Amino acid sequence: MLFTADHDEPRRALQKFIAAEINPHVDEWEKADIFPAHELFKKLGNLGFLGLNKPVEFGGQGLDYSYALMMAEELGAITCGGVPMAIGVQTDMATPALARFGSDEVRREFLAPAIAGDQVACIGVSEPGAGSDVASIKTNARSDGGDYVINGGKMWITNGTQADWICLLANTSDGPVHRNKSLICVPMKTRGVQVARKLDKLGMRSSDTAQIFFDNVRVPKRNRIGEEGQGFTYQMIQFQEERLWGAAVCLKAHEYIINETIDYTRNRKAFGGSILDNQVVHFKLAEMQTEVELLRSLIYRAGEALVAGEDVTRLATMAKLKAGRLGRELTDACLQYWGGMGFTNETPVSRAYRDSRLTSIGGGADEVMLMVLCKMMGTLPGLKQKGNA
């Protein structure tokens, strides 16, 4: 069993926090196209939610990954997608490799304040010419004595305008593309780091997303996470937690939209009865609820395997793929039942429609998830066929 009675207290505490400190402000943050990350993260840090499964010696709780999944599921109750995503970047995208492979020195400098909520983190992997194709990044970190000198740029960086440091993936040699990259912690106030612009996005409005340039940015090599040249491997490991987290955060968000749609269609009248009374509507909502439960089962199964130390690449990839596809189908169907109101920005279903679209893109597009699965199945063209090996 993934969750036990031990999860109940932190779950209730997080639910209470979301109801009191986040949801009352979501509409305001959405209109402002940003939320106060430092203020909110400090409150979360004080409650211990930014380091549930991080090492105790650096301020974490030292719990297993089931607690991170519990947190992700509860964050889905936030009535927008941008704030949960920003929190997830801090806890499950910018810091897992640092917590797992970083030296004590670099963890004291970057991980500890991130867990405490004293600093906001972001992760720099994607570039204008290398989104899901991580191996093709061009940003480089040239060795110069005891330093790296970084040049290049990153795109679609969540928390980018507010972050104190970035977990940066850069080429540190001219070797093979899967063995020439390193993850480096770069303070955002370092000379040569330029936040070029905040992106104007379709959805996730309350999350600030930036394009960032690096012009001869000099950082000490001690800021590197783990071994030089292992950055691609570390990032791939980190991706599995990110993708599982990204799927889990969809669960309550999907259920919220189903329930809101039930309430709206029950009260909306047309042709002498409620919209909900039409079989096509209540049957579709039942199907969508079933799909959410199936996704939950897949996520919980993957979570149990991860906690047991198993490789969850296959299951996490499936969960990420399914969550994105379901989010698109579910919000589209529900929006249709809201009629003209669904096409306005004042309804929760239109926000969910915009926000959920990113799940099929960020952290690896659907097509990349399918490539990963086909490779594992031995059906990807160009591979030696090995059945299900």
**Residues assigned a catalytic role:** 242
Contact 106, 98 (CB under 8 A): yes
Contact 71, 91 (CB under 8 A): yes
How wide is the angle at C-alpha 49 spanned by C-alphas 47 and 53, nearest 5°? Answer: 130
Going by C-beta distance under 8 Å and a sequence separation of 6 or more, which residues neighbour residue 316?
Answer: 240, 241, 243, 244, 247, 302, 306
Contact 231, 185 (CB under 8 A): no
List of E strands, 98-160:
121-124, 140-144, 147-158
Residue of 95, 9, 78, 96 whose CA lies nearest to 47: 9
DSSP 21: I
Query: What's the maximum distance between 2 C-alpha atoms anywhere in the chain?
Result: 79
- Residues 28 and 11: their CA atoms lie apart, in Å, by 26
Going by C-beta distance under 8 Å and a sequence separation of 6 or more, which residues neighbour residue 176?
Answer: none
What tokens does 320 get?
């990420």
Rg (CA), the chain: 21
What tokens does 354 get?
């915009």
3-state helix/strand/coil string of 230-276: EHHHHHHHHHHHHHHHHHHCHHHHHHHHHHHHHHHHHHCEECCEEHH
- Residues 99 and 92: their CA atoms lie apart, in Å, by 10
- Residues 107 and 104: their CA atoms lie apart, in Å, by 5
